[in-house]
Amino acid sequence: MQVELRNPSRTMEFDGPIAVTALLARLSLNREAVLVIRDGTLVPGDAMLADGDHVEIRSVISGGSW
Amino acid sequence: MKCRVCREPAIIDIRRHNANFCVEHFLRLCRDQVAKAIDRHEMLSHTDRVLVAVSGGKDSLALWDILFELGYETDGLYLGLGIGHYSTSSEGFARRFAEQRGLRLEVVDLQEDYGFDVPEGARAARRVPCSACGLSKRHLFDEAARRGGYDAVATGHNLDDEAAVLFGNVLHWQQDYLGRQRPVLPAGNGFPRKVKPLVRLGEREMAAYCVLRNIEYMVEECPMAAGNKHLGYKEALNAIEEQSPGSKHDFYFGFLDRVVDRFGGASEGDGADVGTCVRCGAPAGGEVCAFCRLLERVGGSHPDYHSESTSTVNRTSVSLAPTRVGVIDGATGARP
């Protein structure tokens, strides 16, 4: 499957099936800091991702302060 | 995973609530939590005119959307900060959001209207960019609220923002800041009322809200913020949260419930000798306010808002649409 990441933008390939939590662990990403979007739809941590899925891992952290 | 409320398939898990939600009940949770924050902290009434500080990012657009859904009378204000492509794109998201909903968005551009941008301001003031940016935002949102006769300024600060700021203020024992770190600051000393209706929602929830509501927002991070302390505090808190869900909530709301009043200063300017800036009329600790001092350093000037011949302040030509009232039933059973 293709996994798109941002900040910086890049695309990586992973073999499925793999659980969302396992994918995030392999990428050393904190679940609190990202959303996982499969083919335009949000998926929770226990969802299984398959070969052929297009997955976006979107950072949700904003850094500005007042 | 199944939705806690209806047992249909869930699309998001929120570990601090130890719960999962489907689309319908997650959106209801978000609206419930905003309504609860507004009610519990007496932020707004339905007769208030509210100015929403809009950046084009997830938090401010989600906030505007929810306030609109809850039936509040809102206008938006976008500040063009002059941070290259980031600012250009952010403004586009803010404008499209307003236009699609028939909401009024005022656009103030630092470079066009005041003669400088954030990178120039930071260099001239020898401040980090986030400091010059924050100073400009605070001044210009206050100024716009006074000029427009708004009852309150609403900002998109969420639970993660507030927990990170609290973490930094505690690390350095910033007592003045701790006393003012509240979800609502009443109007006083020349400052408008400030409210933060998203304090009960995390930023992951705000991003999810935008995805589910088809709100397009600026996903890329501000290039000026990379590596700042605030991001480091969030990373540290998220590392704790991953091991112990609910820690950020308990840290922030425990502070509000048990500690904040020990620091005093419930209004902006409390405890200080607040006068009026001789140049712009804003509240000021001295003869000239911090923003006017910054303006002097960069060689900028104030626009003449009252002159009909001046067109430096851009206002989109959208009008207020009839507001709608969302249904809140508290059925989501989220963390109290």
| Complex ipTM | 0.94
The counts of H helices and E strands in chain A are 1, 7
- Picking from B87, B185, B230 by the largest number of A CB atoms within 10 A of its own CB, the best residue to mutate is B230
Residues 1-60 of A with CB under 8 A from B: 6-7, 30-35, 37, 41-47, 58-60
Please give the domain boundaries of chain A with CATH numbers for all domains: 2-59 (3.10.20.30)
Q: What is the pLDDT of residue B297?
A: 93
A35/B207 CB distance under 8 A: yes
**pLDDT, tens digit (0-9, with 9 covering 90-100), for B75-126:** 999 999 999 999 999 999 999 999 999 999 999 999 999 999 999 999 988 8
Rounded to an integer, the average pLDDT of B28-44 is: 98
Residue B14 belongs to what H/E stretch? strand B12-14
Pairing outcome for strands B73-80 and B49-54: parallel
Q: What is the pLDDT of residue B269?
A: 62
Q: Which is more confident, B327 or B73?
A: B73
**pLDDT, tens digit (0-9, with 9 covering 90-100), for A1-59:** 999 998 778 999 999 899 999 999 999 999 999 999 998 899 999 999 999 999 999 99
Provide the angle, in degrees to the nearest 10, between the axes of the packed helices B118-125 and B290-298. Answer: 100
Q: Which residue is associated with the tokens 């109007």? A: B187
Domain boundaries along the sequence of chain B: 45-219+232-273
Q: State the nearest Cα–Cα gap between A32 and chain B, in angstroms.
A: 6
B207/A6 CB distance under 8 A: no
Q: What is the pLDDT of residue B305?
A: 66
pTM attached to this predicted model? 0.90
When CB atoms are compared, the residue of A33, A47, A58 closest to B219 is A58
Instruction: Give the residue from B81, B89, B77, B87 showing the smallest Cα distance to B118.
Output: B81
**Is any Cβ of chain A less than 8 angstroms from the Cβ of B8?**
no
Q: What is the pLDDT of residue B240?
A: 97
Q: Is A52 helix (H, G, I), strand (E, B) or coil?
A: coil
**pLDDT, tens digit (0-9, with 9 covering 90-100), for B306-333:** 554 333 344 443 333 333 333 233 344 4
Q: Which is more confident, B197 or B265?
A: B197
CA dist list (Å): A13 to A4, A43, A56, B205? 9, 18, 12, 27
Q: Is B138 helix (H, G, I), strand (E, B) or coil?
A: helix
Distance CA B256, CA B251 (A): 9
**pLDDT, tens digit (0-9, with 9 covering 90-100), for B277-310:** 999 999 998 899 999 999 999 999 998 765 543 3
Q: State the nearest Cα–Cα gap between B71 and chain A, in angstroms.
A: 27
| CATH code matching the domain that covers B45-219+232-273, chosen among 3.40.50.720, 3.40.190.10, 2.40.50.100, 3.40.50.620 | 3.40.50.620
Q: What is the pLDDT of residue B325?
A: 32
Q: What is the pLDDT of residue B117?
A: 92
